[in-house]
Amino acid sequence: MNNTLSVASVPPPYREGRGGSIHIVILDGYALNPGDLNYDVLRQFGAVEIYERTRPEQVIERAKDAEALLINKVVLGEDEFSQLPRLRYIGVQATGYNVVDVEAARKYGITVTNIPAYSTDSVAQMAMAHLLNITQGVGHYAHQNREGRWSNSSDFCYWDNSPIELAGKQMGIVGFGRTGGAMARLAAALGMSIAAYTSKSQDELPEGVAKMSLDELFRSSDVVSLHCPLTSATKGLVNAERLSLMKSTAILINTARGPIVDEEALSAALNSGAIYAAGVDVLCEEPPRSGSPLLTARNCFVTPHIAWATLEARTRLLDICEANLRSFIEGHPQNVVS
């Protein structure tokens, strides 16, 4: 993909709710589409400019003529809105929309939408992949055997740590939305019992899922998997006090958002053996330019925020992005978060 791709001249301003052309600028197109998808579907709505990545100091210049901005991780707030008088729509190409000051967007009459539920199965799959990697050591043994460990073994098999059977153990799920529900189904298929911390009542939960308080769930679960959004209430939810409730054999999985976990506290718990292991796909700083204690913590396995990134999930994301933009232009916006 070129760093910037401009097509056509800006058509006459569209009239919201009456169709017509709209000037669209994609500020960090590489995040969704590193080259295996096609943004051409958006050209039906008007002129499109695509930038692979945009630094904060480049936002105003690149977005100055935009009526619609599509972003993934570019941060937008009142300072930007005050300098972008044509802007009427922001499509966040993700479920989380904390990169946009939605209060300020509302003040400036800017509609903000997100993309819900596109990566449910992919994220649950990654959470389970982390769990299976920790309990079975697949990557660990594959790496050792490339270096000849098995070939030089005196026995027909060997292991450094005893594999862990999940059947009969308790999976505690924090946040029981679509992804939490998908994780519950995967865990149940492996014979695990399921506990959930959720705003849903017990009657609203699937059969076999037990509603628990947060502390009770951390205290009794063999595995805790986080599937809640990042809010002021969930930031730092997994702290030293909560980690101290967990079994020394327990495993923590985080495919939600990095700041839900106190990284220093989790690193300390892992290094001291207070809990057994953790698998995380998200960190407080992404990429971790200044480092993260989890990158070197004992029995901590870190992947680079890729649970959402399967081709299938990203294809659904682009389809919903198109539908969101179409609905806005036609005057009945959907998936509005502002």
Output DSSP code: residue 261.
Answer: B
In this structure, how many other beta carbons lie within 10 angstroms of the beta carbon of residue 147?
9
Catalytic residue (one of 130, 257, 314, 316): 257
User: Count of alpha carbons within 13 Å of 179, Cβ hemisphere only?
Assistant: 26
Q: Which of 23, 62, 88, 305 is catalytic?
A: 305
Residue 157 in tokens:
């098999």
Q: Which of 78, 286, 312, 330 is catalytic?
A: 286
Q: Is 219 in the active site?
A: no
Q: Is 332 a catalytic residue?
A: no
23: annotated active-site residue? no
Give the CA distances from residue 197 to residues 73, 276, 294, in Å, rounded to whole numbers and listed in that order: 29, 22, 25
From residue 8, how far is each of 28, 71, 334 by CA, in Å? 20, 21, 28
Sheet arrangement for strand 300-302: 209-211, 193-197, 170-174, 223-226, 251-254, 277-280, 300-302
Element at 280 (helix H, strand E): strand 277-280
Residues tagged active-site: 257, 286, 305
